Structure 1
Amino acid sequence: MKRDVIIVGGGAAGFFTAIIAKERNPNLKITILEKGKEVLQKVKISGGGRCNVTNACFVPKDLTEFYPRGKKELLGPFHQFMTGDIMEWFESRGVPLKIEKDNRVFPKSNSSQSIIDCFQQLIDKYDIEVLKNHGVISVEKQDGIWQVETTKGLFVADKLVITAGSSKRIWELVATLGHKVVEPVPSLFTFNIKDPRLTDLLGVSVPYATVKIADTKLESHGPLLITHWGMSGPAILKLSAFGARKLADMNYEYKVEVNWLSKPFGQVVQELHKIKKANTKKQIALRSPFESISKRLWERFVTTVGVDPISRWADLSNKNLEEIARQLSKAVFKASGKSTFKDEFVTAGGITLKEINFKRFESKLHENLFFAGEVLNIDAVTGGFNFQNAWTGGYIIGNVLAE
């Protein structure tokens, strides 16, 4: 039986594309082919099982700034369908959402199952065929008709949509159609740093640090978290996303410059002199003099420069103050390797964007071949932005399919 549409990939972009198309044109015959035994697995585990649906950034141009790859290409599509639109879409279909302090958007239920249930109800309502355990073996186009061979048989359709995410096998198949694929590298990862300054400080964080990769222009700002492996948190993950290619080229061996206070060295020195003057008789490590630096982290900086934490402020020399200021504002750490989030793995890589018509998310090489989500060389920082790329692509393709 020939379908109108075959969608390869049972994830967020694939389901959303199918639902949008059927809402506009209920007569379409759509089949979703999923390699695994379950669908929507990335939705299920995202956001720690809560599903970070999108981000409360409502200006298209501002939104594109969160995409290291795809920034230029997504500006037009975001004017058609973006964060406020997907929020309204879920709300109107019985999934209330909430905006958290960091602008991430989650279901009020705090469960990704709310999103999965919504999709499943609409899949059932519109009689969209979902076939699991159907790994794609080959894709060909003959006489204008798409032929998709799977482990369970051959499927044919007028239109083909590929939303299979960062699948090496799918990228290989796409390459057989003449599309160029940018070799994928990890995009979101923590920095592996073994340094005595971080030992036993697991869970310590600062709300706003400035992080740089030495000898590059790579820099980011935001919360920084000390982990088992070294450093993580939004500042690190953003840097790993925007520096994905550069850090891969460096074989993940590089120096990280951390300004824990995001203040100039000279200013920190001046502040330490004032603090010394006001606390001459107090013990240095009795408490942290900086609100954003925890007592444990402050004590570590003090001991790192060879100062006894039970010393009094009056005992500190000008050199001591400068050395502490350097640890606070110009600390250098050696990173070696990376630790990726295996459950929420994001890559920089995929189909080269020059070969896509972003007014339709359609291949420029083949008519009626569409791509959405991470199969394209588009990725974003954490915070719901990767899902937003999937929703926007799926919405635009769904409308095209319904024409």
Structure 2
Amino acid sequence: MKHIYLIIDRANTEDYGIGTYIRQIKQCLKVSPLLSVTIVESDNSIDEVTESQTNGFNHLRFPLHYKALYHKAEDYYMAVAYKLCSTICENDMNIFCFNYLQQYALAAKIKELSPRSVIWVTVHFVNWMFALKGNIGKMHTILNEHYQENSFVLFVLKDYMDSGKMLRLANRVIFLSAYTQKVLSQEYELNKHDSVVIPNGMEDNGVILNKRQKERVKKSLGLPKHEKIILYAGRLVEEKGLGYLIKAFRMLLKKNPDCRLVIAGDGDLSKYIYESRYCSKITFVGKLPHKELYLLYQIADIGVLPSLMEQCSYTVIEMLMFGLPIIGTTTPGISEMIEDGVHGYKVKIRKRIDGTPFLKETEIVNALLNILACGQKERMAKNCRERYEKRYRLAYMRDRINLLL
């Protein structure tokens, strides 16, 4: 009997696509008499530990606000570990699947209480890498030279150490991109046989509309049928490069006024509304339910994700699924997902003297104009859909996960 425990934190499940990942991996795990799956959640909406069963999955929920009763997070995780280990059968294969590198204290205590248990870690994000904007050299400088111990340096150092401890503890590390596997394996001297790259996958919801159907949907949304729709979908934060896109779009309008930039997502809305002031061709729609977001994918002409840092983006997967040509960047995660000139274009990420990444707005404009050129869009749309079917269908992810079991 194999028993899988999916460890998630409800308060952070929507960050870095972890919520979507959990929904997809649940579909990958075929619940059978020989496989039992328990979803272990830290949940701030409940007052006591609860156990239930839904759709063949066991659920074990811990009150997240109870963490405030303990002096340290480690004490909270110790209490959770004792409860978890009291429910397992040592004769079974118990696999604990973690999605946060910051939960080393919980993983280590589980391993101490149940040495035969197996620890899996999926690397969705690395805090210290995001904090340093991908500048690995700066991390080495912090490690090797005397830095003033301010709160930022202390945070980066602690996260670097904690991440390493979690990765070394794991029996299996699942990376979403080959680049992250290479960097972290070298950084922490991980055994390459203990890790694997399994890109995110998604259930196929892609429905391609013809021209007349698109016009009907545009009309229902109050969008002029003659306008070319450029779509951004994601969090409204600096590392997503939205500021560069807004500036580039203003430049694009001078060359092609029949375009509209639609921005879907939440975050620092006031900042980007201010950057878009006096431009009636930029539409903010907020964070949308999937059904409504998928309508935008269906009518869009180009999808843009100008991220400065990314792993295996669900937004890119959705754009591929709907056959939407993509303008991405050379950040490794996106660079592995699309080919320049085949599925869209990749704008080069450049570095300032201090190592800070940036994009050139003129290069975004040129990429947009190239896709809008005659014949480009249709060819790329076909290639994008084929890319999804070959690499990012849920069945591909399911097959890779099942090989590990």
What's the TM-score, normalizing by structure 1? Answer: 0.29
Which one has the bigger helix percentage? 2
Higher RCO (Cα < 8 Å, 6 or more apart): 1
The structure with the larger Rg is 1
Which one has the bigger strand percentage? 1
